[in-house]
Amino acid sequence: MRPTLRVIASVLLSAPLFCPAAAQPAISETSSPPVNVDANLALTELLHAFGTRTSAPGITAALVKADGTVVAEAWGQARRESPGEPAEAMTRSSRMMSGSVGKTYFAALFMLLVEDGVLDLDARIEPVLKDRPWFATIPNASDLTLRMLLRHQSGIPEHIRMEEFQAALRAEPQKVWKPEELLAFVCGKPPLFKAGEGWSYADTNYILAGVVVEAITQRTVYDMLRERILRPLGLNDTDPNDTPRLRGLVSGYTAPNGIFPVPERVAIDETYACNPQVEWTGGGLITTSTDLAKFGAALFGGKVVSRTSLDQMLDTVSAQNRLGPGVEYGLGVIKWQREGKTYYGHSGWFPGYVTLLMHDPGTGATMAVQINTDQKVIGPAFTRLGEDILALAGNGRSP
């Protein structure tokens, strides 16, 4: 999901990118104690400079080098000082909402199901959902495929931008949403373009894709995600954000009166101010920067899906009509071209938190950074921070 409209869209999709490279060495299981004093010091200095410049409360970041070495650091506060409550330091194990970066996880999961022969990206989804009375009113319903949904080429508008959805969310901030209730906001709406003939980012695409996958598999996407990706990769600090109470969730800070019904401090005592379950397959994960960087390194290093599947994820279409020159989108992956370099990954927002995942195919390095505010940190400087962190990996790839 994304924060305020235009600003969020540019961040969510102006995220990083990846270029497939040779398989990478195994990733170290821990980043503590520091494996490289100079790299840890340089990383801390980058976080300090960014945090000081933007007045961010706290930041965590992790860099996975091509040889599997993990460098992770934290800076600032996980909770600002308030009356009767002292400030709390951010740590490398601090967990935050990762927003739309979750789309990359779900796209990878769906590709594993394609490899199993369970899903067909290019088959029309109509036969799967035709018996559900609401489906016929989805824009472009009869022509939709999973590939169109995952690549935001469905022509379905974004339900999060709709005043009806925002009003409903404010009316019932703790509501447990069924996917069909979220999709209802776009039912009967005209399509933005013919299916497959344009591009427009929408969490709604991934909500519908989740419904299709659960209908075919008769299993929950979260159970499959744990079984196929989170547990095999040892991502023990990554969980669904399917309840307001979330282990290790640090305080996040946002502007009041935004799209979501949350106060300036969005989380107290590991409890979010509204039910984040509304995000579901549009993002839907809480994680650490270290877990996220490890996931990105494994995915773009060819250790999660097959090479054929990864190539499909990296088969991108232009997103520059909304994200700017040179930005493209694949299956849950943003391809970002900046100053002659290409990156792959994703960025994410959930009120009070921003996240960035970037992979540099030139060095084989992957980084992730999370910040516990969405104020004054979103924009080119955020992605520049990601590039600066990747630069700490050096210019060479281990043989």
For residue 15, pLDDT beyond 50: no
Q: Which residues in 86-207 belong to E strands, given as ranges?
A: 88-89, 96-97
218-242 mean pLDDT = 98
Q: How far is CA 34 from the centre of its chain?
A: 27
Residue 22, pLDDT > 60, answer no
Averaged over 18-24, what is the pLDDT?
29
* The pLDDT value given to residue 394: 79
Residue 37 has a pLDDT of 63
pLDDT band at 320 (very low <50, low <70, confident <90, very high): confident
pLDDT, tens only, 72-104:
999 999 999 998 899 999 999 999 999 999 999
Contacts of 339 (CB under 8 A, 6+ apart): none
| Helices 203-217 & 102-115 angle (0-180, nearest 10) | 30
Please give the residue that has the higher pLDDT: either 31 or 48: 48
If pLDDT is split at 50, 70 and 90, which confidence band does 395 have? very low
Q: Does residue 17 have a pLDDT over 60?
A: no
Locate 371 and state its tokens: 């910040």
Strands (E), the chain: 58-64, 70-79, 88-89, 96-97, 239-240, 267-268, 271-272, 285-287, 317-318, 328-329, 334-338, 341-350, 353-360, 365-371
Q: What is the CA radius of gyration of the chain?
A: 20
With a CB cutoff of 8 Å and minimum separation 6, the contacts of 353 are 96, 97, 98, 99, 252, 266, 370, 371, 372, 373, 374
pLDDT digits (tens, 9 = 90+) for 343-385: 999 999 999 999 999 999 999 999 999 999 999 998 889 999 9
Q: What is the mean pLDDT of residues 10-39?
A: 40
* Fold classified for 5-391: Beta-lactamase (3.40.710)
pLDDT above 90 coverage of the chain, percent: 82
Residues 308, 163: Cα–Cα separation, whole Å:
41
Average of pLDDT values for 177-192? 98
CA-CA distance, 210 to 349, in Å (whole number)? 20
